[in-house]
Amino acid sequence: MNSHPSVPFARAAVASVLAVAAALCAAPAAAQEYPARPVRIIVPFAPGGSADVYGRAVAVHLQEVMKQNFIVENRPGAGSLIGTEAVAKSAPDGYTLLLMSNTHTVNESLFASKSFDLMRDFVPIAPINYSDLVLVTRPNLGANSIADLLKTARAKPGALSYASSGPGTPYHMAGELFKATAGVSILHIPYKGSSGARTDVLGGQVDMMFDAVPTMAEFIRSGKVTALATTGKTRSEVLTNVPTMNEAGVPGYEAVIWLGLMAPKGTPPAVVARLNEEVGKFVSDPQTVLAWAKQGTTPMKMAPAEFSKFMQEDITKWAQVVKVSGAKADR
């Protein structure tokens, strides 16, 4: 009896081996081929704010090194929910990305119902950077220090107002944290983006706002607003003459704005790894570090798993702040 396999059987065996080999090569090949067409980065915030500015900087870098168009698309509204929902519903193929911030970690507890869950429906790619905030007031408010501001706020509860770029944003939560920590009542006026909030503070329609140092620094230097305090643990290198909240008499206060990239859940791990690598190279490049330091911004670099852990911890932190402050999602 012939012990050798038949020709059809041998051909089938060879075909099976080739199929397995092709499957094993598919993921690396996909990563090498990515991106084969333009990639959208959806920024769920209005143009002009930190997320928009740094999102575009990252897009330019990715476009240069990956030889494909990375198109930034602003979709503001509902405290970032509109743009974020659009990404959650997109195909998990790496061609629609989300430029997110700690607005998203706050929203996990601030909004009782939304169509997505951040850690369930998205996969972390990479953090980008963080910036301290600065509390500024309209120049004619007559408050030249935190002590002055608190004196007015306590004498007239609810009479002062602060603007934010919308519910759940770092600017909103910085205000709520300030109210809770200092024990004062100040009216929150939410906008659809930071540009509108900033414009009305500059124009004197609203009394104050917390804003990112890189965005507000030029207005402070030109005297268009009065800076009362920054929100980091140490003084900002960009605003060295402005005290921290701790120095100004609000002990234990700290708030920042940080940014990152995410993609719909199910995005190929090889694509996530490639994007993480390229963003990491960009934020750690000495030229980037130096340029951002001059703006008051600090780069952040983490592997996807580390970034995921960081976000989960931030969700827990802000859930407590939302609970203690009684913050509401004023849509």
Is the confidence at residue 2, as pLDDT, over 70? no
As a whole number of angstroms, the distance between CA 253 and CA 230 comes to 10
pLDDT band at residue 1 under the 50/70/90 scheme: very low
- 229, 248, 267 - which closes a domain: 248
- 248, 268, 299 - which closes a domain: 248
The tens digit of pLDDT for each residue in 247-293 reads: 999 999 999 999 999 999 999 999 999 999 999 999 999 999 999 99
Is the confidence at residue 50, as pLDDT, over 70? yes
* Contacts (Cβ under 8 Å, ≥6 apart) of 113: none
Cβ atoms of residues 40 and 71 within 8 Å: yes
Is the confidence at residue 3, as pLDDT, over 50? no
Q: Do 58 and 109 have their domain in common?
A: yes
Q: Do 206 and 225 have their domain in common?
A: yes
Is the confidence at residue 10, as pLDDT, over 50? no
31 to each of 20, 108, 230, how far by Cα in Å? 18, 31, 42
Q: Do 64 and 157 have their domain in common?
A: no
pLDDT of residue 19: 52
Q: Do 272 and 229 have their domain in common?
A: no
| Domain, as residue range, for 143 | 132-248
Alpha helices in the chain (DSSP H): 7-33, 50-66, 81-88, 102-110, 118-121, 146-155, 170-182, 194-202, 213-221, 245-248, 269-284, 286-295, 304-325
| Mean pLDDT value across the chain | 90
Instruction: Give the domain CATH number at 225.
Output: 3.40.190.10
Q: Do 244 and 142 have their domain in common?
A: yes
Q: Do 173 and 320 have their domain in common?
A: no
Per the structure, the count of domains in the chain is 2
Q: Do 282 and 265 have their domain in common?
A: yes
pLDDT of residue 178: 95
Q: Do 80 and 145 have their domain in common?
A: no
Cβ atoms of residues 242 and 235 within 8 Å: yes
- Residue 23 inside a domain? The answer is no
Q: Which residue has the higher pLDDT, 318 or 242?
A: 242
The tens digit of pLDDT for each residue in 222-235 reads: 999 999 999 999 99
pLDDT of residue 93: 97
Q: Do 143 and 231 have their domain in common?
A: yes
Q: Do 146 and 124 have their domain in common?
A: no
Is the confidence at residue 22, as pLDDT, over 80? no
Is the confidence at residue 166, as pLDDT, over 70? yes
